[in-house]
Amino acid sequence: MAEKVFMIALSPTMEEGSILSWKKKVGDAVKMDEPLCEVETDKASMEYLSSQEGTLLAIVKDVGTSAKVGDIIAVIGEPGEDFSALVAAPAPAPKAAPAQAGPLAPAPRTPAPVAVADASGRVKSSPLARKLAAEKGVNLTDVAGSGPHGRVVKSDIESFTPAVEAPRPAVGFAPSSLGASPLNDERIPVSRKRQVIAKRLGESLFTAPHFYLTLGIEMDRLMEARERINGQRKEKIGLNAFLLKFLAEALKRHQPLNSTWEGDFIQNHSSIDLGVAVAQPDGLITPVVRNAGAKGILQIEAELKDLIDRARNNQLKPEDYTGATFTISNLGSFGIEEFTAIINPPGVAILALGATVKTPVVGEGDALVVKKIMKVTLSCDHRVVDGAVGAGFLTELKRMLEDPYQVLL
């Protein structure tokens, strides 16, 4: 019997996915666990492995379209089977209302009428009203329905006057007066991933009360040690692997920094799962080195290399980038001296690393000495981490990085 193939959550936070490609054509045989299609989730592109066997009878969601989790994307069954009943789906939800006018537009005096949509987002309307709306180019979602249960009827369309979209306020000079501009006025659709970034970081910054602790760390000894070690190796070990190791050691001594705020309790974590923010052209991703406290620098380096490679090729799986208990973000390579980062849930703190810069420092006997200083800023969720707790952790980290032997203690 023909069965629907549903979009499933390919990542823990996925609510919707776009079909990037179909690996099977209509008529192809599909085996269990065979890749059916490639889906762009909120974080990565993933292969959708079939959990059904049979013949691909229909593709409901074409390449480039997106499907909510639970939406039917295809039909699998016996060849020649009638599956029309399965794909007789309800009308697609109407598109979102057009974008509001620019920020300088005067606020409308009365609130715009809004159509009553049912739970599925469908606006009830008479067939005639739909036809008239299509002819007049009226978006049904903009029309307040006067019929039973908010049904939009003929008279509603006839009396509808669209809100005039205010012209966008001019910004700077008119492009024509400047000649060709390297910039443009395009509207870029928001990708799944960018939506997730926007949602999660917004939630984090607006719900977790952040505070920031900054200090400078002398990196001379650690750099020396790294140079000495790398001098004896063909493959050099990156600074981040060293930093993660020391970070893990510092976290071992400061449980509150390796926990999660759960509202009515605080969840401590025994595993130190360190997220590393990695820039990709389409947005940030944070692959995670699991249980870093139990790993040596070489292993951390190897895992980090693999994760970053895969991150750049969009091949991370959800388990590779979710659930970091602590995260670092390093903008030192850009020459950024110091910055503040937004906490990456479910962690309660994030460490922002600046560039290591040669700096005159007042040393012993008030002598000026040149030191390699890296400024770090710890963002803490005050619901879990108080100022003194954060400061205690940060000074411990500083002590270890400045005098690596401290780790042995």
- Catalytic residue annotation: 382, 386
Contact 236, 379 (CB under 8 A): no
Does 305 bind another protein (CB under 8 A)? Our answer is no
CB of 113 to another protein, least distance (A): 17
Q: Which of 80, 90, 106, 127 binds another protein (CB under 8 A)?
A: 127
Does 406 bind another protein (CB under 8 A)? Our answer is no
204 C-beta neighbours (distance < 10 Å), count: 19
Does 155 bind another protein (CB under 8 A)? Our answer is yes
Does 129 bind another protein (CB under 8 A)? Our answer is yes
Does 63 bind another protein (CB under 8 A)? Our answer is no
Closer CB to another protein, 153 or 278, in the complex = 153
Tell me what percent of the chain is helix, strand and coil, each rounded to the nearest 5: 30, 25, 45
CB of 129 to another protein, least distance (A): 7
Does 150 bind another protein (CB under 8 A)? Our answer is no
Contact 381, 226 (CB under 8 A): no
CB of 111 to another protein, least distance (A): 22
Does 136 bind another protein (CB under 8 A)? Our answer is no
Task: Tell me which residue of 48, 94, 41 sits closest to 74, measured CA to CA.
Answer: 48
Helical residues (DSSP H) of 67-188, grouped into ranges: 84-87, 127-136, 154-158, 175-178
Closer CB to another protein, 115 or 394, in the complex = 115
Question: CA dihedral defined by 178, 180, 184, 186, rounded to 10 degrees?
Answer: 120
One DSSP character per residue, 286-302 reads --EETTGGGS-HHHHHH
Strand partners, 259: 268
Closer CB to another protein, 145 or 256, in the complex = 145
How many residues bind another protein (CB under 8 A)? The answer is: 12
Using the contact rule CB under 8 A, the part of the chain among 13-21, 122-130, 218-226, 347-355 near another protein is 122-130
Q: Which of 65, 146, 267, 271 binds another protein (CB under 8 A)?
A: 146
Question: How far lies 120's CA from each of 68, 84, 89, 114, in Å?
Answer: 12, 21, 12, 16
Query: What is the 3 state secondary structure string of 342-360?
Result: CCCCCCCEEEEEEEEEEEE
Does 365 bind another protein (CB under 8 A)? Our answer is no
Q: Which residues contact another protein (rule: CB under 8 A)?
A: 126-131, 146-148, 153-155
